[in-house]
Amino acid sequence: MELFKRMQLKGMRLDRFRIVIVLNACASLHALKGGRRAQEQIMQTGCKADVFVGSSLIDMYARCGSMEDAHRVFNKMPSYDVVN
């Protein structure tokens, strides 16, 4: 999470692979605020249509206890697939 903060301060954009890692860290730490900041980056980078990013975002919100946000993200996903 500290690395994510530093990347933001330096103006670095996250790609879909780094976003998934950040979301997983937020979910593990129950860091809802950090997850929401990551979602802002997702909206700016255009990665929101990526099934891995969408699934990670849903997982993060669910693990942080924000089922309404998880449901909202799920409903806005452009496509659905199984991610292992």
% of the chain surpassing 90 pLDDT: 39
The mean pLDDT of 51-73, rounded to a whole number, is: 93
User: Pseudo-torsion of CA 42, 24, 55, 32, nearest 10°?
Assistant: -70
Helix, strand, or coil (residue 53): helix
C-beta separation of 48 from 42 below 8 A: yes
Domain spans of the chain, in order of start? 2-76
Which whole number is the average pLDDT over 66-78? 92
Q: Which residue has the higher pLDDT, 60 or 19?
A: 60
